[in-house]
Amino acid sequence: MNNFEYVHADGLESAATFMAGHAEAKFIGGGTNLVDLMKYNVEKPTALVDLNRLSLREVEEMPDGGVRIGALVTNSDVAYHSLISARYPLLSRAILAGASAQLRNKATTGGNLLQRTRCVYFYDTAVPCNKREPGTGCPAKEGVNRSLAILGTSVACIATHPSDMCVALAALGATVQVTGSKGDRSIPFAEFHRLPGDQPEIDTTLQHGEVVTSVDLPAIGFAGHSAYVKVRDRQSYAFALISVAAGLELTDGLITQAGVALGGVAHKPWRNAQLEQELLIGKPANRDTWHIFQQALLAGAHGFGENDFKLKLAPVTVVRALEQAAHEGAQA
């Protein structure tokens, strides 16, 4: 691990000011991913700006009926908070399906959004990786790719985003609030993470020095009909091969609102709100609807050898999640 400067931020303004003068500095909250990457020499920040003294630890109702989650609220506190478990069970279930209890007790909401891929080539500094060192290549395409992407890939990268929490936030249509030296911004969750394109080293649309202050949830949380289905190699402490967060609002058997997002398949949580509008809204909540939707949602999926099985696993998982959401309520 390289030497670095360590700074406690006493306020958002001072944190942004410090970052503006340090191009290679990083913010740190729980550090459950960043510190690992530093130990592997994947991340080599010249300075760490510790945000833990900031007052970003509240979960509170907003005037529009939604809920605001502070960026420093731990994953455990989000999952077990009464407002979240009652009104957004999809989010609670997704968080509890990820990592271990010890990590959830330390990991923060903002940090969860910013965690980086678990591709083995990204972590191994002895091999090329476009995401770690742009322009060096992507050996994953012909190599060990069992856990990697089948959607939204590029010539440069087939990495996947590892978060469970973010899949639920995508399905819920959350908004990310950020601030920096140029002021505040609200970023729709669908626009927060990027597909790799020809710049796979850039994970999000955050600008350098901007810090996540909260994640805002809309008033509708699919409390009555939601499911998070995660398929993985073992029951606990494993990243998703395929995960699906599905939320529905139903009236007389017809779908009036929907949010469906996939994890383990792309560089970001995969959701297509336009397809939801065209193929789910106003349609009956039955298997015919689910099959038509999953075919459109997964159109263009492409495997790379070891992960070809995902082409068959993903459709089944989408149908299973929607079936559970419609008929069984909130499911693990």
191-245 residue pLDDT tens:
999 999 999 999 999 999 999 999 999 999 999 999 999 999 998 889 999 999 9
Q: Is residue 170 part of a domain?
A: no
Rounded to whole angstroms, the Cα distance separating 41 from 104 reads: 24
Tens of pLDDT along 262-290? 999 999 999 999 999 999 999 999 999 99
Task: For residue 278, give the CATH number of its domain.
Answer: 3.30.390.50
Distances (CA, A) of 155 to 146, 151, 275: 17, 12, 26
Is residue 16 included in any domain, yes or no?
A: no
> What pLDDT is recorded for position 329?
60
Quick check: is 312 in a domain?
Answer: yes
Cα atoms in the Cβ-side hemisphere of radius 13 Å centred on 36: 12
pLDDT of residue 2: 85
Specify the pairing of strand 47-50 against strand 5-8.
parallel
| Residue at 58 is within a domain | no
Distance of alpha carbon 259 from alpha carbon 172, whole angstroms: 6
Is 77 domain-assigned?
no
Tally of structural domains, the chain: 1
Does residue 306 lie in a domain region?
yes
- Note down the domain range covering 277: 226-328
Q: What average pLDDT is seen over the chain?
A: 96
Integer CA distances (angstroms), 149 to 205, 262, 276, 303, in order:
20, 11, 22, 8
Give the residue from 97, 134, 91 showing the smallest Cα distance to 109. Answer: 91
Overall average pLDDT of the 123-129 stretch: 98
In this prediction, what percent of the chain has a pLDDT beyond 90? 95
For 287-311, what is the mean pLDDT? 98
Alpha-carbon distances of 210 from 10, 18, 199, 224, 322, rounded to whole Å: 16, 11, 19, 36, 36
Does some domain include residue 198? no
Give the distance between the most distant pair of CA atoms in the chain.
Answer: 62
Cα four-point dihedral sign 161, 165, 167, 170? negative
What's the confidence (pLDDT) of residue 332? Answer: 42
Instruction: With 0.85 as the threshold, say if the pTM is over it.
Output: yes
Question: pLDDT tier at 316 (50, 70, 90 boundaries)?
Answer: very high
* Position 238 in a domain: yes
